[in-house]
Amino acid sequence: MLVLLPPSETKRPGGDGAPLDVADLALPALAPQRQEVIDALIALSADEDLAARVLRLSAARRHEIADNAALRTAPTMPAIDRYTGVLFDALDASSLDDAARAWIGEHVLIHSAPFGPVGGMDAIPAYRLAAGTSVPGLPALRRQWAAPVSAALAASLPAFVLDLRSEAYVALGPVPEEVASAYVRVVAETEDGAVRALNHFNKKAKGELVRDLARDRPKIRSRVQFAAWATTRGRRVESDAGELRLYA
């Protein structure tokens, strides 16, 4: 099974790893696209006022321009540790044992905007770029990434893909139709029986789900097997129009 996660806008600074080596990232066929986005972000950083407008940075966040300027030289840390925010705080990867972290390295991809999907244990620097940003010198990120990412996912031959990304990141690399997959939507049932999608608790539920997967390390090759495993964890999962509903 391959699990696809969205990134987070918030990230831990620093790191103690060697500078970014694009050749070491998961899905190495994406190296040309990665180099192009990195080059464009470094070039954009030379004009701080323009970079602040393009990246929609407040005065308090302008220091993130320097993160982009240093993409090739800054220290790195595993992607699963780099991201913070509701999903990654719930996953709490730093507290997992070595076996669980190894599972994340083998089975989890985090879909970043500058690097495309990276392995959970891939070493990346801090950066600032969101899925909907238009970067000077590049086509729209959807055009930059969608077809190459879909092709790279297909070439990796996953038995089953559990897609936990937000829709903005799905657009940057849809799972090909020929790959068995399930898109997960986190929902809640109201007192009158209505079902509604969640926002904050959507992220928390996804983080907790991946934490349990990393701890249990089940062998999952289909949505039926995923639903069966989720039941053992006390989770309610239902199929709905080609998606999976995960009840929070």
Note the pLDDT tens digit of each residue in 145-190: 999 999 999 999 999 999 999 999 999 999 999 999 999 999 988 7
CB 126 within 8 A of CB 47: no
CB 39 within 8 A of CB 72: no
Which pair of tokens denotes residue 184?
A: 């997960």
pLDDT for the residue 197: 76
Q: Provide the domain limits for residue 171.
A: 2-247
pLDDT for the residue 195: 77
Indicate yes or no: pTM above 0.85. yes
The residues, ordered by sequence, that sit 6+ positions from 88 with a Cβ below 8 Å of its Cβ are 8, 80, 207
Note the pLDDT tens digit of each residue in 214-245: 999 999 999 999 999 999 999 999 998 779 99
Main-chain dihedrals φ then ψ at residue 2, nearest 5 degrees:
-120, 130
Main-chain dihedrals φ then ψ at residue 16, nearest 5 degrees:
-125, 15
Which pair of tokens denotes residue 242?
A: 């080609």
Confidence of residue 198 (pLDDT cuts 50, 70, 90): low
Number of domains making up the chain: 1
Integer Cα distance of 109 and 175 in angstroms: 13
